[in-house]
Amino acid sequence: MTEVLRHDIVIVGGGAAGLRAAIAAVEADPDVSVALVSKVYPMRSHTVSAEGGAAAVDRDDDSFELHGYDTVKGSDFLGDQDVIQYFVQEAPKELTRLEHWGCPWSRNEDGSIATRAFGGMTTKRTWFAADKVGFHMLHTLFQHSMRFDRIVRYDEQFVTKLIVDGGAVRGVSALDIREGVSRAILGRAVILATGGAGICFPFTTNGNIKTGDGMALAYRAGVPLKDMEFVQYHPTGLPGTGILVTEATRGEGGRLFNRKGERFLENAAYGVGSKLELGPRDMISRAVDQEIRAGNGFEGPHGQYLHLDLTHLGRKLLETRLPFVLELCRTYVGVDPVTQPIPIRPVVHYMMGGIDTDIDGATEMPGLYAAGECGNHSLNGANRLGSNSLTECLVFGARAAIHALCFAKGVEAGSESVARQQTEEEAARIASLRGQRKGGESLARTRSQMQEVMEEGLGVYRNQDGMRVAVEKLAQIKERAADIRLEDTSTVFNTELTAYLELVNMLDVAEVAALSGLARRESRGAHACSDFPERNDREYLHHSLVRFDDRRPRVEKKAVTLGRWEPEARKY
């Protein structure tokens, strides 16, 4: 008989957001029992690969007002201002708390916290631990979480379905990747912290596990996804692999050059003003893209690229502040940044969009919360500032947990028989997939086709025709996906099966992103339309929602919370 496990709160995801939420819940209530479910061992979550840093006000020349304004402006006025104000105030508390738990933040000579410059930020407010910030943050969170035996980990368990009963979420069905069985994990509240969806694109900094699972689970359960057209391209990825060269390189003084040796960001048309390399990511990615299109790039085996030059910074600084960048460049492109410029091109990095939540992380569905990159509390709007995301995982992971806890205390646990029945149906569906599909389509090819469509339709620049074609082609690919051949019958680490489940999730997420993009006939933040080059506040100063309704996607609008800062032209 299908096993049913019981906890008060089920958290899906063992990255920064999931771990922070788990700790917040057990610290707030000594009796609460938390399930932490993750499809990989938590230390392998994508958070581990974050390089550059986490933002929080810490200096005398800084203020919450400034961090708030930078974030609002960075978001191209699509961030909710109540959310942003709460975020900037909580940020220093969260990073200090992490220090008390053991995070080795880099220091100045006098022992104070060292901060570095980051794109779109007025002053140095990005805390760092050399350039392995995610590694240290995740280690700290993971080790701290192990102090609590009320956090029960379910590693290598792939959540395939939300258990919904009477319109409320009651838990999840999880496939044990090691054994091939599905179990029900009942929770009075569920927090999704499943990360982003960069793998919808072919060229990305994202780990292979970032397939939008939580977004797709919520979407299919009727919860809308918000602002999905805003896909962040990071200006400096290594050609060929997509490995990230952190923005910290520019924070430390790195410069961008084209083939003619020009520091092209000095061109006023690119809009970054005197910020140059420290402009926001959307603008710099567009500048790099335009330089390449204008034929000012270098020709390489993986297409055209530009140069990021760190050679003037000197070996000592590079070895202490950016050791990981040296290692990555030497290993993956055979370039030594101490003496040679680094080849770079824009790369898909982050999804601004995600599961629609309020400031508490609550979704429309009773009991269902989201935090971290999979959620959208409207902090980042149309463009995230680098280093706000790690802090966001902490601030809103903790807040979602406290609100989920309150919710959980006020409701009865879900019915065991309903959970069992839904999980048995899910197990039967998975069994019918495992090695049982004789279709004519290849999984790998279908995935590549989706990725190509997304790159063509939702690149650094988009237009209506391109996005319309993307929507049409994605619909065709979805149809063909029903005919994908699955041959592996194994129940132990059947990666063909999990790759298929991930592809189905990505196809939903990709479709929503393309539909949201098509509906927004303006340029704002990362959504740069060549046919609608201006921002249009009169018609589009609103969030995009896409809801799965009557088995079809429906595009809706949601108001932006303004307040402290009036929308103005975004100039640097």
Ligand X SMILES: Cc1cc2nc3c(=O)[nH]c(=O)nc-3n(C[C@H](O)[C@H](O)[C@H](O)COP(=O)(O)OP(=O)(O)OC[C@H]3O[C@@H](n4cnc5c(N)ncnc54)[C@H](O)[C@@H]3O)c2cc1C
Which residues carry out catalysis? 234, 250
205 is a site residue for ligand X (CB under 6 A): yes
Judged by beta carbon, residue 136 or residue 286, the one nearer ligand X is: 136
User: Is residue 318 at the binding interface for ligand X, with CB under 6 A as the rule?
Assistant: no
Task: Give the residue, chosen from 4, 16, 189, 484, that forms a contact with ligand X under the rule CB under 6 A.
Answer: 16
62 touches ligand X by CB under 6 A: no
Residues 79 and 381: their CA atoms lie apart, in Å, by 4
* Pair of tokens at residue 353: 């969009």
Per-residue buried b or exposed e for 4-23, using 16+ beta carbons within 10 Å of the residue's own CB:
bbbbbbbbbbbbbbbbbbbb
- Please, is 438 exposed, middle or buried when counting C-beta atoms within 10 Å of its C-beta (0-12, 13-18, 19+)? exposed
Chain centre distance of CA 415: 33
With respect to ligand X, which residue has the nearer C-beta, 98 or 471?
98
Site for ligand X contains 14 (CB under 6 A):
yes
Per-residue binding letters, 162-201, with ligand X (x by CB under 6 A): -------------------------------xxxx-----
The stretch among 32-40, 269-277, 288-296, 542-550 that binds ligand X (CB under 6 A) is 32-40
Of 54, 169, 177, 322, the one binding ligand X (CB under 6 A) is: 54
The two three-digit tokens of residue 110, written as one number:
């006098």
For residues 362 to 381, the per-residue mask of contacts with ligand X, x marking binding by CB under 6 A and - elsewhere, is ----------xxx-------
Question: CB of residue 101 vs ligand X: minimum separation in angstroms?
Answer: 16
Candidates 46-54, 144-152, 541-549, 561-569; binding stretch for ligand X (CB under 6 A): 46-54
Select 98 or 529, whichever has its Cβ closest to ligand X: 98
Query: Contact between 38 and ligand X (CB under 6 A)?
Result: yes
Q: What DSSP line would sit under 17-42, residue for residue? A: HHHHHHHHHHHH-TT--EEEEESS-G
**Nearest-angstrom CA–CA distance, 426 and 435:** 16
In the complex, least distance from residue 434 CB atom to ligand X, rounded to whole angstroms? 17
Determine the size of the site formed for ligand X (CB under 6 A): 46
Measured distance CA(411)–CA(351) in Å, rounded: 33
Q: Is 548 among the residues that bind ligand X (CB under 6 A)? A: no
- Do 516 and 229 form a contact (C-beta atoms < 8 A)? yes
The interface with ligand X within residues 225-254 (CB under 6 A) comprises 244, 246
Residue 37: both structure tokens together: 């479910």
How buried is 292 (Cβ within 10 angstroms: 0-12 exposed, 13-18 middle, 19+ buried)? buried
Residue (of 190, 180, 186) closest to 157 by Cα position: 180
Rounded to whole angstroms, the Cα distance separating 332 from 47 reads: 21
Residue 544 touches ligand X, criterion: CB under 6 A: no
280 belongs to the binding site for ligand X (CB under 6 A):
no
Task: Provide, rounded to whole angstroms, the least separation between the CB of residue 50 and ligand X.
Answer: 3
For ligand X, give the closer residue by CB, 126 or 523: 126
CB burial of residue 279 (10 Å; 0-12, 13-18, 19+): buried
Note whether 140 binds ligand X by CB under 6 A: no
H helical segments located in 46-119: 64-74, 81-100
Q: Which of 8, 10, 11, 13 binds ligand X (CB under 6 A)?
A: 13
The DSSP secondary structure of 323-385, one letter per residue, reads HHHHHHHHHHT---TTTSPEEEEEEEEEES-EEE--TTSB-SSTTEEE-GGGEE-SSSTTSPP
Interface with ligand X (CB under 6 A), residue from 387, 449, 494, 544: 387
Q: Which x/- pattern over 389-408 shows residues binding ligand X (rule: CB under 6 A)? A: xx--x---------------
Neighbours of 209 (CB within 10 A): 18
Closer by beta carbon to ligand X, 251 or else 466: 251
- Residues in touch with ligand X (CB under 6 A): 12-18, 37-40, 42, 45-47, 49-54, 133-134, 158-159, 193-196, 205-206, 209-210, 213-214, 244, 246, 350, 372-374, 387-390, 393
